[in-house]
Amino acid sequence: MHRMHGMSHSHPTFEVTTDALIAYVRVREAAGLFAWQETHASVLQWSPARLAGVVQRALYSMDVTLQGEQRALQLALFDPEFEQWHFVPQDIVTPHANLAYLHFVVYIGS
């Protein structure tokens, strides 16, 4: 993602690159989340209370440990419909892809 500069919009805007979209799809498919588009559409229809509950359960289910300077070897994706974490090797994403798109993972999951 690249932030668009010089825009007069009151809300921040950004551009998603083709490489980021390809990586986004590749990661979900590697996790077995082939219906991610339908899941995204469904989540957009959820009530704020339902969405907050799913996010809270996702955050509380994470096991966070500090490993020093060790680099993570897996990406974690949360499927909000089934409330399950899926893990895929990080190298599934090309080294040149911008990983900033992963900020969406906690919000929309699969």
In this structure, of 16-20, 21-25, 43-47, 63-67, the range with the lowest mean pLDDT score is 63-67
**pLDDT(73) > 70:** yes
Q: Does 52 reside within a domain?
A: yes
47-56 pLDDT per residue, tens: 999 999 999 9
Q: Would you say residue 67 lies in a domain?
A: no
The domain of 56 spans 13-62+72-108
With respect to residue 100, please indicate whether it lies within any of the assigned structural domains.
Answer: yes
Is the residue at 1 inside a domain?
A: no
Domain count along the chain: 1
Cβ-defined contacts of 20-27 (< 8 Å, 24+): 20/97, 20/98, 20/100, 20/101, 21/101, 22/97, 23/93, 23/94, 23/97, 23/99, 23/101, 24/101, 24/104, 26/92, 26/93, 27/75, 27/77, 27/88, 27/92, 27/93
Q: Please tell me whether the overall predicted TM-score, pTM, comes out greater than 0.95 for this model.
A: no
Give the pLDDT confidence of 76-103 residue by residue, as tens digits. Answer: 899 999 999 999 998 887 654 545 444 4
- Domain assignment of residue 46, yes or no: yes
Query: Looking at residues 29-52, what average pLDDT do you find?
Result: 94
Over range 56-69, report the average pLDDT: 83
**Residue 56 included in any domain:** yes
Residue 26: inside a domain:
yes
